[in-house]
Chain A
């Protein structure tokens, strides 16, 4: 395949008068790790929602391996190979950790309802394969010990990891991670960084990463797109982005102090959730 894996051309979305995302473009190659940063409310999560079909773009196109995705319902986009995690964790709280991942494996299942009700050999074989694959994913994220716990009972960092494991279980081609390190302590962040670094090669996927922690992003990605007020203000390699005056202004302009306060509030809110 010659063209890019994921190609986003100038997608926009407005909520009433607010242009949450304006003319956002992106091109991701195979096994590429890319960062998406910007101050709070810049439109990063909205961009993810546009890519995954939660919202429909007002204009622009999203295509994966040349297949147009925008306009499809979210489940078809996931089936096509775009999987995501949620910034405000959305696990299936009353299901076990294992089941959270197994649910996402359902795309593997080819047997029909009747086969499941009769427990045909094919059903059993597919179920077994799903369980094995799920357990393998859990152990990759260090969650195998907790497979039988309810997801709601996991500590916060584990919940974030479970979200990643679950998204990977859909066997995506592109993985979208929305602030996977939020609320983690420095040691957890380091482990997570190493894990994410290994994902493209291990699963043959591209990763698009939203992250506020600059240490984490700069360390991981080949390139970064910076959003501010829905606009793309810079695209480039991490080193160049770090020096880009527009980026510095976007971040410092909002006030370094404000940023710290926001962060603290975020943390408090997330800690409670």
Chain B
């Protein structure tokens, strides 16, 4: 059955892109109206929260939907962030002679930034494929070890990279592939232009949410869920479980890479190996577990709350991790599926869950 021409096809096509349009509109609103009115501190928090939403929802594709367990999400974020940072920093140097932000809203600089984020996502997805292929053939807990190892190795490798090249002349003299080794080592990749804005965060959050939701309500996402529920039965229903698991994992790494791109270009953060270590991975895990394994809105809400909470509890910062860890253990014992489980926040008001479908 191919698409019939005529009004109905146009309407369907519109429906297909409508959420993206709404998201774009909301992002513009956020960028030009809400953010200027609420000041830089609140704006930064909103952007932090948005990045965490992308991280949590993307990790949920693996840990929640597919029932596998990755604890190296920050590693993919780092891959994306460093790749994107390389593109914008050295790209700006080569194009405009300086790493400073170039052009205005949707100007040349922002387009370079967009390309950088997409490149970061692509490289992160590739890394996901490399990590996922050997480990996803096996049972879930091996993935945990391999992803953890991946994150740690990445940290070690990044710490051993060379200094960022500070002048355009030096950049021109250095062969392109060698530039990839000049990302600042343990001190971090400084000097990346600050392109990340409420608009871009809004756009990427929209894409993440729409993708996750559509996935969950379609046959691809149902295959993810079936694997989480019972791998043997899923395989017996004709689902190529390894391939589906790898797909979920790669998709999840892709969005982590995207979040890394946003993170790399955010005011007030430095991309450094320590920042994107196990601790960060764990922060994301706890967002997923608290929000609900398989709940998109749950993960998103948990991400927002856990971004804001440390700001409110600044004086308790040394107890934060203890609190999180204890919370994790207690949640697992008392409410193992997380707060919302597989359901979504709007299901809470419905008498009965209406499938996972539309």
> Which residues of A are interface residues toward B (Cβ below 8 A)?
52, 54, 73-76, 78-79, 83-84, 86, 90-96, 98-99, 102-107, 109, 113, 116-127, 130-131, 147-150, 166-167, 169-170
Cβ distance B209 to chain A, nearest Cβ, rounded Å = 12
Q: Interface of chain B, helix or strand or loop or mixed?
A: helix
Residue in B9, B16, B230, B357 whose CB lies within 8 Å of A99: B357
**How many angstroms between the C-alpha atoms of A91 and B226 in the bound complex?**
9
Q: Tell whether B173 is near chain A: CB-to-CB under 8 Å.
A: no
Q: Which of B115-123, B148-156, B214-222, B278-286 contacts A (4 or more CB under 8 A)?
A: B214-222
List the B side residues contacting A120 at CB < 8 Å.
3, 12, 16
Task: Tell which of B9, B218, B234, B353 touches A123, judged by Cβ atoms closer than 8 Å.
Answer: B218
Question: Nearest-CB distance from B311 to chain A (Å)?
Answer: 34
Considering the chains assembled together, what is the distance between the CA atoms of A91 and B215 in angstroms? 21
How long is the Cα–Cα vector from A99 to B236 in the complex, in angstroms?
Answer: 16
With an 8 A cutoff between CB atoms, is B275 at the interface? no
Q: Are B236 and A92 in contact (CB under 8 A)?
A: no
CB contact under 8 A between A96 and B355, given known A103-B222, A116-B219, A122-B1: yes
Q: Which of B215-257 contact A (CB under 8 A)?
A: 215, 218-220, 222-223, 225-226, 229-230, 232-241, 247
* Contact A95 B236, beta carbon cutoff 8 Å: no
Inter-subunit contact A91/B355 (CB<8 Å): no
Task: Report 10 cross-chain contacts, Cβ distance below 8 Å, ordered by A residue.
Answer: A52-B236, A75-B237, A90-B230, A92-B233, A94-B225, A94-B337, A106-B237, A106-B239, A107-B238, A127-B218
Q: Which 9 A-B pairs have the closest CB atoms?
A: A92-B229, A78-B238, A121-B3, A90-B233, A96-B355, A119-B16, A116-B218, A104-B237, A74-B235
CB distance from A72 to the nearest CB of B (A): 11
Q: B residues near A, CB below 8 A? A: 1-4, 9, 12-13, 15-17, 210-211, 214-215, 218-220, 222-223, 225-226, 229-230, 232-241, 247, 294, 337, 341-342, 352-357
Q: What residues of A have a CB within 8 angstroms of the CB of B17 in the complex?
A: 118
Known contacts A94-B229, A113-B220, then 9 further A-B pairs from the complex at CB < 8 Å, ordered by chain A residue: A52-B236, A75-B235, A95-B229, A103-B219, A103-B225, A104-B237, A106-B239, A120-B12, A167-B237
Residues in B whose Cβ lies below 8 Å from that of A92 = 225-226, 229-230, 233-234
Which of chain B's residues have a CB closer than 8 A to the CB of A91?
229-230, 233
B355 touches A148 (CB 8 A): yes
Does A103 contact B230, Cβ atoms closer than 8 Å? no
Partner of B239, one of A75, A130, A131: A75
Known contacts A75-B241, A78-B236; decide if A95 and B226 are in contact (CB<8 Å): yes
Closest to B235 in A: A74
Q: Report chain A residues within 8 Å CB of B247.
A: 113
Q: Decide if A119 touches B214 in the complex (CB within 8 Å).
A: yes
A84 touches B236 (CB 8 A): yes
Do A102 and B219 form a contact, CB below 8 Å, given A78-B236, A94-B342? yes
Q: In the assembly, what is the distance between CA of A119 and CA of B223, in Å?
A: 17
Residue of A nearest to B229 (CB): A92
A91 to B229 alpha-carbon distance, docked (Å): 8
Cβ–Cβ contact A131 & B218, under 8 A: no
The docked-state distance in angstroms from the alpha carbon of A124 to that of B140 is 32
Contact A99 B241, beta carbon cutoff 8 Å: no
Q: Chain B contacts of A170 at CB under 8 A?
A: 237-238
Q: In the complex, what residues of B have CB within 8 A of residue A90's CB? A: 230, 232-233, 236
A147 to B225, CA, bound (A): 17
- Provide the bound-state CA to CA distance between A121 and B40, in Å: 43
| Nearest B residue to A52, CB-CB | B236
Docked-complex contact A78 and B353, CB < 8 angstroms: no
CA distance A98 to B15 in the complex (A): 25
Does A130 lie within 8 Å of B354, measured CB to CB? no
Give A158 Cβ to nearest chain B Cβ, in Å: 16
**A109, A121, A122, A147 — most chain B CB neighbours (10 Å):** A121
Asked if A117 contacts B238 (CB within 8 A), the reply is no
Give the complex CA separation of A95 and B352 in angstroms. 13
- Per the bound structure, the CA–CA distance linking A166 and B238 in Å amounts to 11
In the complex, are the beta carbons of B353 and A96 less than 8 A apart? yes
Given A94-B229, A119-B15, do A149 and B237 touch, yes or no (CB 8 Å)?
no
B226 x A149 contact (CB < 8 A)? no
Is there contact, CB below 8 Å, between B353 and A106? no
Q: What's the least CB distance linking A251 to chain B, in Å?
A: 30
CA distance A83 to B241 in the complex (A): 16
Quick one: closest B residue to A105, CB to CB?
A: B219
